[in-house]
């Protein structure tokens, strides 16, 4: 009885279980091999470096569950950052006014992706590949190769912690949004629509699911999240540059897939993505403090991804 329940749990959540175990292993090994790793202040402080990737992992999970992909998010970060910094420093628009506008700009850029994907039926991989170049390019047109400073009052958000904790503000935001996204995917109509669209888009349409609308909203949300990340990054680095966040999309997708979300859509949990993201963070932190060279770190993450995919495939025999 119990074993059959475990069996069923395993069948349903093998990838999540695999990454959870890997996370615990990574933590134990890092702590055992490198005592300097076990330092809460350091761990939390260093984790803030990955906040934006962590946030994007959440929205990318929804996108991939819906059977799509969004490569353009990191370019949206740069572009929105460029817009905000330009409006602030060249047109003197107050920064507090621009903060809430960032997700709006990002959302608009995401909606453009959504339009091409949902209304023109173009493959999201290629559409967002194109907008990835386009948005990055527009950021570059705006800023050239120079940096624009953000006001000092608004920088350094990562150094503000919750009282009596090591929790830096970006981490607090991330943890909050983890819960929000978990609720969004697993507890709302929107989330259900996302899942069924990933499972079978045609049947979703026949079932009265507003597929196109769901996708446009989803890409808009993805863009808006990138907008939020853009503000965090601006505050963290104090400058806007066109080349910010470049290449992070691969880390984000790696985390999502590592967390057991099917790249073909229809299956995935926020829990899996969160654990996978933590796993990557822990592995990188562990290797970083142990002085492992950057290139080995890159290789290790690739191997980790393969390991997780192969493990959960082999053990469940899922097609």
Partner 1 sequence: MNGINGAPLLRTTGLSKSFGAVTVLEDAGVELRAGEIHAFLGENGAGKSTLAKLIAGIYRPSAGQIERNGRPVTIHNPREATELGIALIPQEPRTFPDLSAAENIFVGRLPMRSGLVDWKSLYGRAEELLHELGVALDPRQPARSLSVADRQMLELAGALSLNAEILLLDETTASLTPGEVSRLEVILRRLSAAGKSIVFIGHRMEEIFSLCDRATILRDGKIVGERMISETSPEDLLRLMVGREIGEKVVRGSVPTGKPLLEVKGLSQPPLFHDISFSIRRGEIVGLAGLVGAGRTEIACALFGLSQPTAGTILVDGKPAEIRSPRDAMGYGMALAPEDRQKQGAFLPISLWENASLSSLPRLSRRGWLKDSVSRTLTTEWVKRLSVRCREIEQPLHELSGGNQQKVVLAKWLETQPKILLLDEPTRGIDVHAKTEVHRLICELADAGMATLLISSDLPEILALSDRILVLRSGRIVREFDRSEATPEAVIAAAGVSTGLPDKPRSMVA
Partner 2 sequence: MKKLRFFLMAFGASLTLLAGCKPDTPPASPTATSATPPTTATEAGTTTATTSAPAGKVRVVYIPKNTGNPYFDGVVKGFEQASKEIDIDFSTTAPAQPDPTAQISFIKDEIQRGANVICITPNSVDALNSVFDDARAKGVKILTVNADLTGNESHRDGAILPTDFDKLGANQIELIGSLMKYTGKFAILSATADAPDQNFWIKGMKEALKDPKYAKMELVGIVYGDDKDQKSVTEAEGLLTKYPDLKGILAPTSVGVAAVAKVVESRKVADKVIVTGLGTPNTMRRYLKDGIIPAVALWSPPEMGYIAAYASFGMSKGDVKMTPDASFKTGKMGSRIVGKNGVVIAGPPLVFTKDNVDKYDF
Partner 3 sequence: MINKLFQRREAPLLIILAALVTIVCLLQPRFLSPGNLQSVLLWLPLLIIVALGEMAVILTRGIDVSVGSILGLSGMMTAMALRDYPELNIYVAALLATGIGAFLGAINGGLIAGAGTPPIVATLATLGIYRGLTFVVSSGKQVDDYQLPRNLARWSIDGPFGLSIPPYVVWIALIVAAAMHLFLTYSRTGRDWYAIGGEPDGASDRGVPVRLQTFCAYVLSGAGAGLAGLLYASRFGTVNPASIGNGFELLAIAAVVIGGTSIFGGSGTIAGVLLGCLLLGVINVALAVLNIAETWQSAVYGAVILMALLTDDAARRRLMKGARHK
> Under the rule (CB under 8 A), what is the footprint of partner 3?
69, 116, 120-123, 125-127, 129-138, 140-141, 144-145, 242, 250, 253-254, 257, 263-264, 293-303, 305-306, 309-310, 313, 319
Residue whose CB is less far from partner 1, 194 or 289: 194
Burial class (CB in 10 A: 0-12, 13-18, 19+), 155: middle
Separation in Å, CA 313 to CA 4, 257, 266: 19, 13, 16
| Minimum distance of partner 2 from residue 295's CB (angstroms) | 5
101 vs 237 by CB, closer to partner 2: 237
What CA–CA distance (Å, rounded) separates 149 from 66? 38
- Give CA–CA dist 133/74, Å, rounded: 10
Least Å distance, CB 34 to partner 2, is 8
Kindly state the smallest distance separating residue 136's Cβ from partner 3, in Å: 5
176-193 burial string, b = 16+ CB within 10 Å, else e?
A: ebbeebbebbeeeeebeb
CA distances from 132 to 168, 218, 244 (A): 30, 17, 13
Residue 301 CB, shortest distance to partner 3, in Å, is 5
SS3 149: strand
Question: Which of residues 199 and 292 has its CB atom nearest to partner 1 in the complex?
Answer: 199
Nearer to partner 3, 24 or 294 (CB): 294
Burial of 161 (0-12, 13-18, 19+ CB in 10 A): middle
Number of residues that bind partner 1 (CB under 8 A): 22
Which helix (H) or strand (E) segment holds residue 171: the answer is helix 169-187
CA angle 216, 61, 156 (to 5 degrees): 95
In the complex with partner 2, the residue whose CB is nearer, 217 or 241, is 241
Report yes or no: 73 and 224 within 8 Å, Cβ to Cβ: no
Shortest spacing between CB 211 and partner 2, in angstroms: 23
Q: Is 145 in the site for partner 1 (CB under 8 A)?
A: no
Cα–Cα distances (Å) from 231 to 217, 225, 260, in that order, read: 21, 10, 29
Binding mask 251-280 for partner 1 (x = CB under 8 A): ---------------xx-------------
User: Which of 66-74, 75-83, 128-136, 194-202 is the region at the interface with partner 1 (rule: CB under 8 A)?
Assistant: 194-202
Q: Which residues contact 216 (CB under 8 A, 6 or more apart)?
A: 111, 114, 115, 118, 119
Q: Does 316 bind partner 1 (CB under 8 A)?
A: no
Contacts with partner 2, residue ranges (CB under 8 A): 9, 12-13, 16, 35-36, 38-42, 44-46, 49, 144-147, 149, 155-156, 158-159, 161-162, 164-167, 171, 175, 178-179, 182, 186-187, 236-239, 241, 243-244, 246-247, 269-271, 274-275, 284-285, 288-289, 291, 293-295, 298
């Amino acid at each position: 009885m119990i074993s059959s329940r475990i069996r069923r749990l395993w069948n349903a959540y093998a990838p999540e279980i695999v990454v959870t175990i890997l996370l615990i292993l990574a933590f134990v090994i890092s702590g055992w091999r490198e005592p300097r790793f076990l330092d809460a202040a350091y761990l939390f402080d260093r984790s803030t470096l990955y906040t934006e990737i962590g946030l994007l992992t959440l929205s990318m999970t929804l996108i991939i569950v819906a059977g799509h992909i969004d490569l353009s998010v990191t370019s949206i970060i740069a572009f929105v950052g460029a817009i905000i910094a330009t409006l602030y420093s060249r047109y003197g628009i107050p920064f507090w006014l621009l903060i809430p506008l960032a997700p709006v700009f990002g959302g608009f850029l995401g909606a453009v992706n959504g339009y091409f994907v949902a209304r023109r039926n173009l493959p999201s991989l290629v559409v967002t590949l194109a907008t990835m170049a386009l948005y990055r390019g527009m950021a570059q047109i705006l800023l050239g190769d120079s940096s624009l400073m953000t006001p000092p009052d608004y920088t350094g958000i990562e150094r503000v912690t919750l009282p009596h904790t090591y929790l830096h503000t970006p981490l607090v935001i991330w943890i909050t949004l983890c819960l929000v996204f978990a609720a969004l995917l697993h507890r709302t109509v929107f989330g259900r629509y996302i899942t069924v669209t990933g499972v079978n888009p045609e049947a979703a349409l026949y079932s009265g699911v507003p597929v196109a609308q769901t996708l446009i909203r989803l890409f808009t949300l993805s863009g808006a999240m990138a907008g939020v990340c853009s503000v965090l990054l601006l505050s963290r680095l104090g400058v806007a540059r066109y080349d910010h966040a470049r290449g992070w999309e691969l880390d984000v997708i790696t985390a999502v897939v590592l967390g057991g979300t099917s790249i073909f859509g229809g299956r995935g949990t926020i829990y899996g993505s969160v654990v996978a993201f933590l796993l990557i963070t822990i592995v990188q932190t562990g290797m970083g403090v142990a002085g492992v060279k950057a290139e080995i770190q890159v290789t290790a993450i690739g191997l980790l991804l393969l390991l997780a995919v192969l493990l959960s495939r082999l053990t469940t025999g899922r097609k």
